[in-house]
Amino acid sequence: MLLLIRMLVLLFLIVGVTLLGIVYCLLTLWSKNRVHYLGRVFAQVAPVFGLSVEGRVAESAKNIPQAVYVANHQNNYDLFTLAAVVPKGVVTVGKTSLRWIPFFGALYWASGNILINRENRKQAIATIDQVVFSMKKTGLSIWMFPEGTRSRGRGWLPFKRGAFYAAVQAGVPIVPVVCSSTHGQVSLNRLNNGKVLVEMLPPIDTVGLQETDVVALIKQCEQQMHETQQRLDQELARHGQLDSPLGKS
């Protein structure tokens, strides 16, 4: 019964939020904060899944003029958990296939996010160059998932270079964002699915770095993000909030 109620509520929310969101975006094309405000709305949906989300932002990560935000990508629930810390003045970079998702695809496009073809490596590289040009022109930050796709319980996937290349070329810091393990945590037929922690770490400076430094930059970021997720998972486990052992990666 709970599963049916949740599915009906989610269907209503998806249609309602999408339609109202598209109207909002079309009326605020001048705004750099469309993704931020939509993120605040999506963050309010987490309790529908029985999730309690706590967002944490390092003091040094607050009020950064411009950055490249990189977050781990686990599953579809990321839309409702990571949204807790999405800052102002940011757009995300996603796959072109997102535009074909019913309802959400139209909203994703209308909110000013950037779509790239990751299947074509040359085109993806050219698009990253365009992203860097756009960042310099507009002052917008970008949010990327360096794993490239959802891990779906496979553990951390190797980081791709695009986000780090963009940060180095634009001369802006990398800001890691880490969500505690959520794989296997949510059962739509269970009232309480526990707590999720989302933490925005201190920025990693890229001033003076060159393309040849990108590999080392990736390794540094990966290590910090892996260690942070382990720490968040351990914190939840100590407080009995990480219900499923499948949540471990």
Q: Are 98 and 105 in contact (CB under 8 A)?
A: yes
Q: Where are the domains of the chain?
A: 2-247
Q: In this predicted model, what pLDDT tens digit does every residue of 59-99 receive, in sequence order?
A: 999 989 999 999 999 999 999 999 999 999 999 988 888 88
What order of strands is seen across the sheet that includes strand 90-95? Answer: 52-57, 195-200, 174-179, 68-71, 141-144, 90-95, 114-116
- 2-247 is classed CATH 3.40.1130: yes
**Average pLDDT score over the chain:** 90
- The pLDDT, as a whole number, for residue 244 is 44
- The pTM (predicted TM-score) of the whole model is 0.90
- The pLDDT, as a whole number, for residue 242 is 58
- The pLDDT, as a whole number, for residue 97 is 82
pLDDT band at 118 (very low <50, low <70, confident <90, very high): low
| Distance (Å, whole) CA 47 – CA 226 | 26
Is pLDDT above 70 for 241?
no
